[in-house]
Structure 1
Amino acid sequence: MPVNLKGKSFLTLMDFSKDEIYYLLDLAADLKAKKRAGIRGNALQGKNIALLFEKASTRTRCAFTVACIDEGAHPEFLGKNDIHLGGKEDVKDTARVLGRMFDGIEYRGFKQSMVEELAEYAGVPVWNGLTDVDHPTQILADFLTIQENFGRILKGLRLVYCGDGRNNMSNALMIGCAKLGMHYVIASPASLFPEAALLEQCRTIAAASGGSVTVFEDPFEAVKGADAVYTDVWVSMGEEEKKKEREALLRPYQVSMDLMKASGKDETIFLHCLPAVKEQEVTEEVFEAPFSKVFDEAENRMHTIKAVMVATIGNQ
């Protein structure tokens, strides 16, 4: 059955099937090949895209902007001081106004409920550029990077995440891996294990897809057999007051060369969504090693975000 995502919002990979995720990855790979060949597209010609940012951004903002322009769309950046989102004006009112002027809306901010409310009332597709609990566009970039190293089918691969096991990156990776039948492993202090309900939901999905979700406190035990080792900053945006506490708690989970070698595989790759705080969650040696694919990931944000926009509002 052919995949048709026209008009669909992209809020979380929980809303997408295995076939739909692979469709987006295949489309991203095709769009990447065309860009590398110097072929500009027109799939978004005549489209106007609103980019709503409550949080600062490098990769997400640049990826959406360049992706829009590559395919002929006009991106309009709206920062937290530019509009009245959730302040002077209700979210649903802002959504209904923007939905009458734009063909698609990207939101990067704090509450998942905010992006969900935008999608409910806008009348046009809304794309989640990051919230406190999810980061689905990043996961597409991660999966495209893994495909480029291990082949198209991701089922059965073992991805190990070291660090804060209940942050937005770990949540999003867990959902994505469960959907595709991958083996997702979290190495984290017990106090930072994933939220119980989401963990059980993902384990149920993984059981049906042929994957698994496991949690370890010992990072060296967790990384055994890893195809990819992933980490993220220890202190997320908005949690700066917890910096010293997090650094002390997560120090044993730093991705070092010894930890990478503990996978027991020569082909294990290192991934990071960036920005990285080197010598905290990852050593400089690992970050700069040939097996580090972090800048492939960063580039792939653009290609996968382009795929999401083309699939949901494109001139097909």
Structure 2
Amino acid sequence: MKMPSSSATNLKKEGLRHLLKTQDYTKKELNDILELMAMLKEARKENALPQLFKGKSVAMIFEQPSTRTRVSFETAATMLGGHALFLSPKDIHLGSKESLEDTGRVLSRMVDVIMARVDEHSTVAGLAEQASVPVINGLCDWLHPTQIMADLFTMAEHLPEGKSLSDLTVAFVGDATNVTSSLMFACTKFGMTFKHICPERFKAPQKWVEIALDNCEASGGKLVITDNTDEVAGCDIIVADSFYWFGQEDEKELRLSTFIPNYVVTQELMDKAGPDAMFMHCLPANDTRECTREVMESPRSVIFDEAENRLTAQMALLVYFTHHHIQAPTEATLTMHKDKIEGFLKTL
């Protein structure tokens, strides 16, 4: 019997898009995702989430461990009626026995979304080049777009009275991490003032600065790069992150001695920002390095709201990137296939 050669996943879907970086999306498109996040979060509160990922699967590739990324994607898929598969380096042959290209093509035949948390941006970009399903960047050495969608939503939930997102001034105190870059790009795209406060040695690279300045020209935002912690004065939000990460262990002592104590977010630094300034951190946080436990537990900290909103973001992203491709069968089609298969099974 000749079998059909086409894929059940409908390869080369029209309008296929990936989330490699928020910079690829307009402010309106990012706002659409934020609005979807708000509706899904409200539905979750009412225990009334529509099953918008029913019958679908997301493959979660992890080259790096994560608490929030894994739990949020897996929970989001399940709550929306779908399924998530955890794929560590022990589970797949990515880049070893099987090429990046073949991995992307094979997974596209079996799942509806690929999420990849990887060491290098080229890996997730390579998957997207070959995949015929949406690919979501769960973190790479350059960017962390899913975190930033959660951050933007958290900012929107805690806006100072009378202000919109574009009115905010955000200060990132610390190293030029993948969160720094993603937040810098998103904030300047929305027209905010973004300040990167860090030692000269670890400031944002020129490539990032140029992208952010282009955003500012279009949005009316402002970018400040400085080593002066007094620049936190008047900021609405203070953000911190780890002073070193995977692949930077050999620089650990240099980094800690450079950042500590001047760039640690303390209560004194928060007070310098102002009485209404909020504190954010993507977590995990080290309360003896980049920030203090006092700041983390203060009423001005929204870090656990921010963490919860990783789930809010992942729900929206799974729906946003698959809703165009939903092909709901008619009752007649369901009945036809059911009768056909059951009829065949009776002959066995």
Question: Contact 1:52 / 1:78 at 8 angstroms: preserved in 2?
Answer: yes
Q: Which residue does the alignment assign to 1:181?
A: 191
Q: Which residue does the alignment assign to 2:138?
A: 129
Q: Which residue does the alignment assign to 2:166?
A: 155
Q: Which residue does the alignment assign to 2:108?
A: 99
Q: Which residue does the alignment assign to 2:342?
A: none
In the comparison of the two structures, how many residue pairs are matched? Answer: 309
1:277 aligned partner, one-letter code: N
User: Is 2:119 aligned against 1:117?
Assistant: no
How do 1:199-214 and structure 2 match up within 5 A? 199-214=209-224
Question: Contact 1:134 / 1:171 at 8 angstroms: preserved in 2?
Answer: yes
Question: Contact 1:107 / 1:128 at 8 angstroms: preserved in 2?
Answer: yes
How do 1:225-240 and structure 2 match up within 5 A? 225-240=234-249
1:295 aligned partner, one-letter code: F
Question: Contact 1:43 / 1:310 at 8 angstroms: preserved in 2?
Answer: yes
Distance 2:164 2:110 in 1: 39
Distance 2:69 2:167 in 1: 29
- The SS at the match of 2:154 is helix
Q: TM-score, length-normalised on structure 2?
A: 0.86
Task: Give a deviation string over 1:23-67, Cα, whole Å, max 9, x none.
Answer: 111100110111011113211111111000000010000000000
Identity of aligned residues (%): 38
Distance 1:41 1:8 in 2: 23
Q: Which residue does the alignment assign to 1:218?
A: 228
How do 1:56-67 and structure 2 match up within 5 A? 56-67=65-76
- The SS at the match of 1:253 is coil
Structure number with greater Rg is 2
Distance 2:242 2:207 in 1: 24
Distance 1:108 1:144 in 2: 21
Question: Contact 1:48 / 1:75 at 8 angstroms: preserved in 2?
Answer: yes
Deviation at 1:237, TM superposition (A): 1.9
Match of 1:42 among 46, 51, 67: 51
User: Is 2:16 aligned against 1:7?
Assistant: yes
Q: TM-score, length-normalised on structure 1?
A: 0.95
Question: Contact 1:67 / 1:306 at 8 angstroms: preserved in 2?
Answer: yes
Structure 1 regions of 5+ residues with no counterpart?
none
- The SS at the match of 1:146 is helix
- The SS at the match of 2:286 is coil
Q: Which residue does the alignment assign to 1:169?
A: 179
1:203 aligned partner, one-letter code: L
Task: Give a deviation string over 1:190-222, Cα, whole Å, max 9, x none.
Answer: 1111110221121121121011111110112x2
Match of 1:74 among 62, 83, 97: 83
Moved over 6 A (4+): none
Question: Contact 1:140 / 1:304 at 8 angstroms: preserved in 2?
Answer: yes
- The SS at the match of 1:308 is helix
How do 1:252-271 and structure 2 match up within 5 A? 252-263=262-273, 265-271=274-280
Question: Contact 2:40 / 2:49 at 8 angstroms: preserved in 1?
Answer: no
Bigger Cα displacement from structure 2, 5-14 vs 134-143: 5-14
User: Is 2:314 aligned against 1:305?
Assistant: yes
Question: Contact 1:59 / 1:298 at 8 angstroms: preserved in 2?
Answer: yes
1:160 aligned partner, one-letter code: A
- The SS at the match of 1:128 is strand
Distance 2:131 2:40 in 1: 27
Question: Contact 1:156 / 1:210 at 8 angstroms: preserved in 2?
Answer: no
Task: Give a deviation string over 1:110-153, Cα, whole Å, max 9, x none.
Answer: 11111111011011100010001100000011111111110783
Distance 2:250 2:182 in 1: 24
